[in-house]
Amino acid sequence: MISIQFESQHDCQQVYNQLTRYMSKYTQLGVQVTLDIAKGQEEATLFIHYEDTNIDFYDSFHPLLASILSHYVIETKEEDWLLEIIESMFYFKDPEEQEQILSIACEIINGYRDDIPSISCFRERENYLYEAFASNIDEHTTFYYEPFLTFRLKDYCEILIDCVEIAIDEYLLEQEYQNIVESLRNYLKSAPKKMKELHLVYDGHFSFYNSSFRKISREEKEHFLEEALVFEGDLDIEEMVVSPLVSINPEIVSIYTDDVDQGIIYTLQTIFQERAILYPLGVFQRVT
Protein backbone atom coordinates (compact mmCIF):
# COMPACT_ATOMS: atom_id res chain seq x y z
CA MET A 1 0.00 0.00 0.00
CA ILE A 2 1.08 3.57 -0.77
CA SER A 3 -0.04 6.42 1.45
CA ILE A 4 0.52 9.99 0.26
CA GLN A 5 0.04 12.56 2.98
CA PHE A 6 -1.03 16.09 2.02
CA GLU A 7 -1.22 19.16 4.22
CA SER A 8 -4.00 20.43 1.94
CA GLN A 9 -7.26 18.53 1.52
CA HIS A 10 -7.73 20.31 -1.81
CA ASP A 11 -4.46 18.96 -3.22
CA CYS A 12 -5.28 15.48 -2.01
CA GLN A 13 -8.73 15.58 -3.58
CA GLN A 14 -7.40 16.87 -6.91
CA VAL A 15 -4.76 14.14 -7.18
CA TYR A 16 -7.39 11.58 -6.19
CA ASN A 17 -9.73 12.87 -8.93
CA GLN A 18 -7.01 12.69 -11.58
CA LEU A 19 -6.08 9.14 -10.60
CA THR A 20 -9.73 8.10 -10.59
CA ARG A 21 -10.15 9.24 -14.20
CA TYR A 22 -7.47 6.74 -15.28
CA MET A 23 -8.65 3.79 -13.24
CA SER A 24 -11.24 2.54 -15.72
CA LYS A 25 -8.55 2.26 -18.42
CA TYR A 26 -6.22 0.39 -16.10
CA THR A 27 -8.99 -1.94 -14.94
CA GLN A 28 -9.59 -2.93 -18.57
CA LEU A 29 -5.92 -3.94 -18.77
CA GLY A 30 -6.26 -6.10 -15.71
CA VAL A 31 -4.56 -3.73 -13.28
CA GLN A 32 -6.27 -3.64 -9.89
CA VAL A 33 -5.92 -0.35 -7.99
CA THR A 34 -8.10 0.88 -5.13
CA LEU A 35 -8.11 4.52 -3.98
CA ASP A 36 -9.29 5.95 -0.68
CA ILE A 37 -9.01 9.26 1.19
CA ALA A 38 -8.83 9.88 4.93
CA LYS A 39 -9.38 13.53 5.82
CA GLY A 40 -8.32 15.26 9.01
CA GLN A 41 -9.02 18.83 10.11
CA GLU A 42 -6.86 20.36 7.37
CA GLU A 43 -4.66 17.57 6.06
CA ALA A 44 -5.64 14.47 4.12
CA THR A 45 -4.07 11.16 3.14
CA LEU A 46 -4.49 9.36 -0.16
CA PHE A 47 -4.30 5.56 0.14
CA ILE A 48 -3.44 3.54 -2.95
CA HIS A 49 -3.81 -0.24 -2.86
CA TYR A 50 -2.09 -1.97 -5.77
CA GLU A 51 -3.55 -5.46 -5.70
CA ASP A 52 -2.49 -7.04 -8.99
CA THR A 53 0.06 -9.85 -8.77
CA ASN A 54 0.31 -10.57 -12.49
CA ILE A 55 1.43 -7.14 -13.75
CA ASP A 56 4.51 -5.54 -12.26
CA PHE A 57 3.82 -2.36 -10.31
CA TYR A 58 6.85 -0.55 -11.76
CA ASP A 59 5.81 -1.35 -15.32
CA SER A 60 2.21 -0.27 -14.93
CA PHE A 61 0.84 1.95 -12.16
CA HIS A 62 4.13 3.48 -10.92
CA PRO A 63 4.78 5.52 -14.12
CA LEU A 64 1.20 6.79 -14.10
CA LEU A 65 1.42 7.95 -10.49
CA ALA A 66 4.76 9.73 -11.02
CA SER A 67 3.43 11.38 -14.17
CA ILE A 68 0.22 12.63 -12.53
CA LEU A 69 2.10 14.08 -9.58
CA SER A 70 4.57 15.78 -11.95
CA HIS A 71 1.76 17.34 -13.99
CA TYR A 72 0.01 18.46 -10.83
CA VAL A 73 3.11 20.29 -9.54
CA ILE A 74 3.49 22.14 -12.85
CA GLU A 75 -0.18 23.06 -12.95
CA THR A 76 -0.51 24.23 -9.34
CA LYS A 77 2.94 25.29 -8.11
CA GLU A 78 5.14 26.38 -10.99
CA GLU A 79 3.87 29.94 -11.52
CA ASP A 80 3.85 30.62 -7.79
CA TRP A 81 7.44 29.41 -7.49
CA LEU A 82 8.54 31.48 -10.49
CA LEU A 83 6.94 34.55 -8.93
CA GLU A 84 8.61 33.81 -5.58
CA ILE A 85 12.00 33.59 -7.31
CA ILE A 86 11.38 36.87 -9.14
CA GLU A 87 10.61 38.63 -5.86
CA SER A 88 12.82 36.96 -3.26
CA MET A 89 15.94 36.18 -5.30
CA PHE A 90 15.96 39.02 -7.83
CA TYR A 91 14.17 41.67 -5.75
CA PHE A 92 11.55 42.79 -8.25
CA LYS A 93 8.85 44.09 -5.94
CA ASP A 94 6.63 46.07 -8.30
CA PRO A 95 3.54 43.96 -9.14
CA GLU A 96 3.44 45.13 -12.76
CA GLU A 97 7.10 44.27 -13.30
CA GLN A 98 6.61 40.91 -11.60
CA GLU A 99 3.68 40.11 -13.87
CA GLN A 100 5.59 41.01 -17.04
CA ILE A 101 8.63 38.95 -16.04
CA LEU A 102 6.40 36.04 -15.02
CA SER A 103 4.65 36.16 -18.38
CA ILE A 104 7.98 35.97 -20.22
CA ALA A 105 9.21 33.18 -17.93
CA CYS A 106 6.06 31.13 -18.62
CA GLU A 107 6.49 31.60 -22.37
CA ILE A 108 10.13 30.48 -22.11
CA ILE A 109 9.51 27.43 -19.95
CA ASN A 110 6.61 26.29 -22.13
CA GLY A 111 8.67 26.62 -25.32
CA TYR A 112 6.90 29.63 -26.83
CA ARG A 113 10.04 31.76 -27.25
CA ASP A 114 12.00 30.03 -30.00
CA ASP A 115 13.91 33.27 -30.62
CA ILE A 116 15.84 32.64 -27.40
CA PRO A 117 18.74 30.20 -27.84
CA SER A 118 19.54 27.31 -25.48
CA ILE A 119 16.16 26.97 -23.81
CA SER A 120 15.34 23.41 -24.88
CA CYS A 121 16.20 22.14 -21.37
CA PHE A 122 13.23 24.04 -19.92
CA ARG A 123 10.81 22.02 -22.02
CA GLU A 124 12.18 18.88 -20.39
CA ARG A 125 11.72 20.07 -16.82
CA GLU A 126 8.83 17.64 -16.38
CA ASN A 127 11.39 14.83 -16.75
CA TYR A 128 13.20 16.14 -13.66
CA LEU A 129 9.96 16.13 -11.70
CA TYR A 130 9.03 12.69 -12.95
CA GLU A 131 12.40 11.21 -11.99
CA ALA A 132 12.22 12.81 -8.55
CA PHE A 133 8.77 11.35 -7.84
CA ALA A 134 9.59 7.99 -9.40
CA SER A 135 12.73 7.52 -7.31
CA ASN A 136 10.93 8.35 -4.05
CA ILE A 137 7.78 6.29 -4.44
CA ASP A 138 7.72 2.51 -4.30
CA GLU A 139 5.07 -0.13 -3.93
CA HIS A 140 4.95 0.11 -0.13
CA THR A 141 5.71 3.59 1.12
CA THR A 142 4.45 6.54 3.10
CA PHE A 143 5.08 9.64 1.05
CA TYR A 144 4.93 13.19 2.46
CA TYR A 145 3.96 15.52 -0.37
CA GLU A 146 4.87 19.02 0.94
CA PRO A 147 8.26 18.06 2.49
CA PHE A 148 9.09 16.35 -0.80
CA LEU A 149 8.39 19.59 -2.71
CA THR A 150 10.59 21.52 -0.27
CA PHE A 151 13.61 19.24 -0.11
CA ARG A 152 13.65 16.90 -3.11
CA LEU A 153 13.30 19.13 -6.17
CA LYS A 154 16.70 20.82 -6.34
CA ASP A 155 17.29 20.15 -10.06
CA TYR A 156 13.82 21.35 -10.98
CA CYS A 157 14.21 24.51 -8.88
CA GLU A 158 17.55 25.23 -10.57
CA ILE A 159 15.73 25.13 -13.90
CA LEU A 160 13.16 27.63 -12.62
CA ILE A 161 15.93 29.98 -11.43
CA ASP A 162 17.71 29.77 -14.80
CA CYS A 163 14.41 30.47 -16.54
CA VAL A 164 13.76 33.57 -14.42
CA GLU A 165 17.28 34.88 -15.10
CA ILE A 166 16.69 34.66 -18.85
CA ALA A 167 13.20 36.16 -18.48
CA ILE A 168 14.63 39.14 -16.59
CA ASP A 169 17.26 39.68 -19.29
CA GLU A 170 14.52 39.61 -21.91
CA TYR A 171 12.35 41.97 -19.87
CA LEU A 172 15.19 44.49 -19.50
CA LEU A 173 15.97 44.27 -23.21
CA GLU A 174 12.31 44.88 -24.03
CA GLN A 175 12.23 47.86 -21.66
CA GLU A 176 15.36 49.27 -23.31
CA TYR A 177 13.77 48.72 -26.71
CA GLN A 178 10.60 50.54 -25.65
CA ASN A 179 12.63 53.46 -24.28
CA ILE A 180 14.62 53.76 -27.52
CA VAL A 181 11.48 53.62 -29.65
CA GLU A 182 9.80 56.29 -27.51
CA SER A 183 12.83 58.60 -27.70
CA LEU A 184 13.02 58.21 -31.50
CA ARG A 185 9.30 58.94 -31.85
CA ASN A 186 9.75 62.08 -29.78
CA TYR A 187 12.67 63.11 -31.97
CA LEU A 188 10.55 62.76 -35.11
CA LYS A 189 7.96 65.17 -33.71
CA SER A 190 10.35 68.09 -33.35
CA ALA A 191 13.14 67.44 -35.84
CA PRO A 192 13.08 68.93 -39.36
CA LYS A 193 12.02 66.66 -42.21
CA LYS A 194 14.93 66.31 -44.61
CA MET A 195 13.08 64.42 -47.33
CA LYS A 196 9.50 64.33 -48.57
CA GLU A 197 9.46 60.60 -49.24
CA LEU A 198 11.98 57.83 -48.75
CA HIS A 199 11.70 54.40 -50.35
CA LEU A 200 13.11 51.58 -48.25
CA VAL A 201 13.59 48.26 -50.01
CA TYR A 202 14.20 44.95 -48.22
CA ASP A 203 15.09 41.98 -50.39
CA GLY A 204 17.42 40.32 -47.88
CA HIS A 205 19.31 43.60 -47.56
CA PHE A 206 18.02 47.12 -46.87
CA SER A 207 18.50 49.79 -49.54
CA PHE A 208 17.51 53.47 -49.34
CA TYR A 209 16.09 55.42 -52.31
CA ASN A 210 15.01 59.05 -52.50
CA SER A 211 11.66 60.29 -53.82
CA SER A 212 12.99 60.00 -57.41
CA PHE A 213 13.93 56.34 -56.80
CA ARG A 214 17.62 57.13 -56.92
CA LYS A 215 19.66 55.03 -54.52
CA ILE A 216 20.98 56.99 -51.56
CA SER A 217 24.73 56.62 -51.31
CA ARG A 218 26.85 55.84 -48.30
CA GLU A 219 28.18 59.41 -48.31
CA GLU A 220 24.64 60.82 -48.26
CA LYS A 221 23.71 58.59 -45.32
CA GLU A 222 26.78 59.79 -43.42
CA HIS A 223 25.79 63.38 -44.18
CA PHE A 224 22.26 62.91 -42.85
CA LEU A 225 23.19 60.74 -39.86
CA GLU A 226 22.70 62.33 -36.43
CA GLU A 227 25.32 60.78 -34.15
CA ALA A 228 23.09 61.25 -31.09
CA LEU A 229 20.55 58.87 -32.65
CA VAL A 230 22.94 56.01 -33.33
CA PHE A 231 22.20 53.01 -31.10
CA GLU A 232 23.20 50.12 -33.36
CA GLY A 233 26.60 49.78 -31.74
CA ASP A 234 29.55 49.14 -34.01
CA LEU A 235 27.56 48.40 -37.15
CA ASP A 236 28.79 49.88 -40.39
CA ILE A 237 26.51 52.63 -41.63
CA GLU A 238 25.56 50.47 -44.63
CA GLU A 239 24.12 47.93 -42.19
CA MET A 240 22.24 50.53 -40.12
CA VAL A 241 18.57 51.06 -40.90
CA VAL A 242 16.72 52.76 -38.05
CA SER A 243 19.26 55.49 -37.12
CA PRO A 244 19.82 56.89 -40.63
CA LEU A 245 16.12 56.68 -41.45
CA VAL A 246 15.11 58.58 -38.32
CA SER A 247 17.92 61.09 -38.97
CA ILE A 248 16.48 61.80 -42.42
CA ASN A 249 12.99 62.00 -40.91
CA PRO A 250 11.03 61.72 -44.18
CA GLU A 251 7.41 62.74 -44.32
CA ILE A 252 6.55 59.32 -45.76
CA VAL A 253 8.46 56.04 -45.53
CA SER A 254 7.45 53.63 -48.28
CA ILE A 255 8.65 50.15 -47.35
CA TYR A 256 8.84 47.44 -50.00
CA THR A 257 9.21 43.86 -48.77
CA ASP A 258 7.72 40.39 -48.90
CA ASP A 259 9.03 39.67 -45.39
CA VAL A 260 6.60 41.61 -43.23
CA ASP A 261 7.65 39.65 -40.14
CA GLN A 262 11.18 41.06 -40.27
CA GLY A 263 11.83 42.60 -36.84
CA ILE A 264 13.19 45.90 -38.18
CA ILE A 265 10.07 46.36 -40.31
CA TYR A 266 7.93 46.09 -37.19
CA THR A 267 10.20 48.56 -35.37
CA LEU A 268 9.95 51.09 -38.20
CA GLN A 269 6.17 50.80 -38.21
CA THR A 270 6.16 51.36 -34.45
CA ILE A 271 8.38 54.44 -34.74
CA PHE A 272 6.87 56.08 -37.84
CA GLN A 273 3.32 54.81 -37.28
CA GLU A 274 0.96 56.06 -40.03
CA ARG A 275 3.89 57.61 -41.91
CA ALA A 276 5.22 54.11 -42.71
CA ILE A 277 3.42 52.43 -45.64
CA LEU A 278 4.06 48.81 -46.57
CA TYR A 279 4.11 47.51 -50.16
CA PRO A 280 4.99 44.12 -51.65
CA LEU A 281 8.48 44.00 -53.11
CA GLY A 282 7.04 43.57 -56.59
CA VAL A 283 5.56 47.10 -56.49
CA PHE A 284 9.05 48.63 -56.27
CA GLN A 285 10.30 46.37 -59.05
CA ARG A 286 7.44 47.57 -61.31
CA VAL A 287 7.91 51.28 -60.67
CA THR A 288 11.66 51.12 -61.25
Statement to judge: residues 120 and 252 lie in one domain? no
- 186, part of any domain: no
List phi, psi (to 5°) of 198.
-125, 135
How many angstroms separate the CA atoms of 288 and 31, rounded? 75
What pLDDT is recorded for position 128?
A: 92
Categorize the per-residue pLDDT at 64 as very low, low, confident or very high, splitting at 50, 70 and 90.
very high
Q: Which of 138, 156, 179 is the last residue of a domain?
A: 179
With beta carbons less than 8 A apart as the criterion, state whether 256 and 265 touch.
no
Residue 132 reports pLDDT greater than 80: yes
Give the mean pLDDT of 81-87: 98
What pLDDT is recorded for position 118?
A: 58
List phi, psi (to 5°) of 122.
-65, -35
List phi, psi (to 5°) of 258.
-105, 0
Q: Which of 155, 179, 203 is the last residue of a domain?
A: 179
Statement to judge: residues 130 and 33 lie in one domain? yes
Statement to judge: residues 50 and 146 lie in one domain? yes
Statement to judge: residues 162 and 73 lie in one domain? yes
- 259, part of any domain: yes
Statement to judge: residues 174 and 118 lie in one domain? yes
Residue 210 reports pLDDT greater than 80: yes
Statement to judge: residues 238 and 215 lie in one domain? yes
Statement to judge: residues 150 and 212 lie in one domain? no
How many angstroms separate the CA atoms of 114 and 104, rounded? 12
- 188, part of any domain: no
8-17, 53-62, 157-166: which range is least confident on average? 53-62
Based on the structure, what is the number of domains in the chain? 2
Please tell me whether the overall predicted TM-score, pTM, comes out greater than 0.75 for this model: yes
What pLDDT is recorded for position 117?
A: 62
Statement to judge: residues 47 and 94 lie in one domain? yes
- 107, part of any domain: yes
Statement to judge: residues 24 and 119 lie in one domain? yes
Statement to judge: residues 163 and 30 lie in one domain? yes
- 123, part of any domain: yes
With beta carbons less than 8 A apart as the criterion, state whether 33 and 61 touch.
yes
Statement to judge: residues 135 and 255 lie in one domain? no
Statement to judge: residues 149 and 41 lie in one domain? yes
Range of the domain at 231: 194-287
Single-letter code of the amino acid located at 45: T
Give the total residue count for the chain: 288
What pLDDT is recorded for position 120?
A: 65
Q: Which of 122, 152, 179 is the last residue of a domain?
A: 179
